């Protein structure tokens, strides 16, 4: 492999000749051979957004000339267009401030911009620290990139997936209105419920989760940029923080504002922890929904069998004809991964020491993994399972009519204790509730038929 010599404040470093990165990226690439988890592309994209906005703010405030600003913006657009993806090789397991990823972006911007100007002596060459990182520090850029990436992931990935599944449940509610089935509590028979009512519970969980996620966005919209190293804003011009937040808003189409307390912004990760809590809650709701669906679809002959779900692939390498609720299983696996990520993020957020939290790369990785996995799993569950849910109405009616908990409707007429006697007798002697009630003499056949109407119990 051909190499070129780059240098930083520590001296010279050999860098692959083709690489757009420089010395600090190369040092990190060599010193942190840990795992295979690379810095998420959403973080790199967020860095490109903030670097472009920072250049525009610096230009607006008179610190940067228009030609340099234009060059930086051009390179940032190339990053956002995925033209330079190979230029970002660093892993998550690096310095906890994300300094090396910040410098990776700075070096790529400077080197690519210098390629674009080539040997034009009329244009000043760009420097990673002095130009691309002007008015910034890794300590305020990484938390800013984290908030930008989190906001975009929630609003453009996760919430649309939730809305898609919500719409499917709304359709299923309409289609199954008036279909009465056995309710279940404690995994035991309970009083009747309409299938549309059961589905409305699933829909309500999604709607509540969406509202909770949306409630986290105002905190994520507050940016650390402008605080520089420790929150004092050293080496950033007055007004830079407000100006750069305005430019980030224009680039993304989402409203971002500067965090008023930069010491809080740099040292605490409570906003991202709070946001992931809402994501975790959605995961918990999806776990419940997926479990309900696979229980209701269990069988096909020896389970509940009250719904049918799409048969997507063979379910066994040895049992011919077996089909499994695989989409439900995928959702539940994703849910437990998200819950594990939440534990990591919560602990990492608690580790802000003095003026900086140094667990930011793992927070970023786990947060974006949670959002990406959950968004994909919800869409997959919708497209390959939920849209094809069909109520097995005959099985629902059979299970309903065999439910001993229908006896509850007799409470107002014969009392709780007598109704319990009817249920126990019917179960022990394998008789219908009607037969048991009549044999105990609590009601006549005509009286029983008048008050025993399961379809009216919902």
Residues classed as catalytic: 186, 316
Token pair 């919560």 in the structure block, residue = 346
C-alpha–C-alpha distance, residues 128 and 142, integer Å: 16
* Per-position DSSP letters for 6-53, written without gaps between them: EEETTEEEEEETT-S--HHHHHHHHH----S-BPPHHHHHHHHHHHHH
C-alpha–C-alpha distance, residues 232 and 296, integer Å: 58
Q: Within 13 Å of residue 151, how many CA atoms lie on the same side as its CB?
A: 25
* C-alpha 397: how far from chain center: 38
CB 4 within 8 A of CB 26: no
Cα radius of gyration (the chain):
30
Torsion angle of the four alpha carbons 221, 227, 231, 233, in this order, in degrees rounded to the nearest 10: -150
C-alpha–C-alpha distance, residues 269 and 359, integer Å: 9
Decide the pairing of beta strands 3-8 and 11-16. Answer: antiparallel
- Dihedral angle sign, alpha carbons of residues 62, 64, 68, 69: negative
Could you tell me which residues come within 8 angstroms of residue 398 by beta carbon, excluding any fewer than 6 positions away?
A: none
C-alpha–C-alpha distance, residues 153 and 282, integer Å: 15
CB 102 within 8 A of CB 46: no
Q: How many helices (H) and strands (E) does the chain have?
A: 17, 10
CB burial of 328-346 (b: ≥16 within 10 Å; e: otherwise) equals bebbbebbebbeebbebbe
C-alpha–C-alpha distance, residues 273 and 216, integer Å: 10
CB 103 within 8 A of CB 110: no
Could you tell me which residues come within 8 angstroms of residue 179 by beta carbon, excluding any fewer than 6 positions away?
A: 194, 195, 196, 391, 393, 396
Of the candidates 163, 160, 158, 165, the residue with the CA atom closest to the CA atom of residue 199? 165
* Per-position DSSP letters for 107-128, written without gaps between them: HHHHHHHHHHHTT-TTSPPP-I
């Amino acid at each position: 492999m051909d190499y070129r010599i780059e240098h930083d404040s520590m001296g010279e470093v050999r860098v692959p000749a083709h690489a757009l990165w420089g010395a600090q990226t190369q040092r990190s690439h060599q010193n942190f051979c840990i795992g295979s988890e690379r810095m998420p592309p959403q973080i790199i994209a967020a860095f490109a957004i903030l670097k472009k906005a920072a250049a525009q703010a610096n230009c607006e405030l008179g610190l940067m000339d228009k030609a340099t600003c234009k060059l930086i913006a051009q390179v940032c657009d190339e990053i956002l267009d995925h033209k330079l993806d190979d230029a970002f090789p660093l892993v998550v397991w690096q310095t906890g401030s994300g300094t090396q990823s910040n410098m990776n972006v700075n070096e790529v911007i400077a080197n690519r911009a210098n390629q674009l100007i080539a040997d034009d002596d009329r244009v000043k060459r760009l420097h990673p620290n002095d130009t691309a990182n002007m008015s910034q520090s890794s300590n305020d850029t990484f938390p800013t990139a984290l908030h930008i990436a989190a906001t975009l992931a929630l609003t453009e990935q996760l919430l649309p997936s939730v809305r898609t599944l919500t719409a499917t449940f709304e359709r299923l509610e309409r289609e199954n209105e008036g279909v009465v089935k056995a309710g279940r509590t404690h995994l035991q028979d309970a009083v009747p419920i309409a299938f549309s009512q059961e589905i409305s519970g699933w829909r309500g969980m999604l709607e509540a989760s969406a509202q909770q996620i949306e409630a986290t966005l105002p905190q994520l919209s507050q940016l650390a940029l402008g605080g520089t190293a420790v929150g004092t804003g050293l080496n950033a011009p007055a007004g830079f923080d407000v100006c750069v937040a305005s430019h980030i808003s224009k680039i993304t189409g989402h409203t971002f504002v500067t965090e008023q307390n930069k010491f809080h912004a740099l040292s605490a990760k409570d906003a991202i922890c709070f946001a992931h809590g809402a994501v975790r809650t959605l995961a918990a709701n999806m776990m419940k929904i997926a479990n309900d669906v696979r229980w209701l679809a269990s069988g096909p002959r020896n389970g509940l069998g009250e719904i049918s779900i799409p048969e997507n692939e063979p379910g066994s390498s040895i049992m011919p004809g077996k089909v499994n609720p695989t989409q439900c299983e995928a959702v539940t696996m994703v849910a437990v991964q998200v819950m594990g990520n939440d534990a990591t993020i919560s602990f990492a957020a608690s580790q802000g020491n003095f003026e900086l939290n140094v667990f930011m790369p793992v927070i970023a990785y786990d947060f974006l993994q949670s959002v990406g996995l959950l968004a994909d799993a919800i869409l997959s569950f919708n497209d390959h399972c939920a849209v094809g849910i069909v109520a097995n109405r005959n099985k629902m009616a059979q299970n309903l009519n065999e439910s001993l908990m229908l006896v509850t409707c007799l409470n107002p007429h014969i009392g709780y204790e007598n109704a319990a006697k009817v249920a126990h007798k019917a179960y022990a002697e394998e008789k219908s509730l009607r037969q048991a009630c009549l044999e105990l003499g609590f009601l006549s056949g005509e009286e029983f038929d008048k008050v025993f109407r399961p379809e009216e119990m919902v």
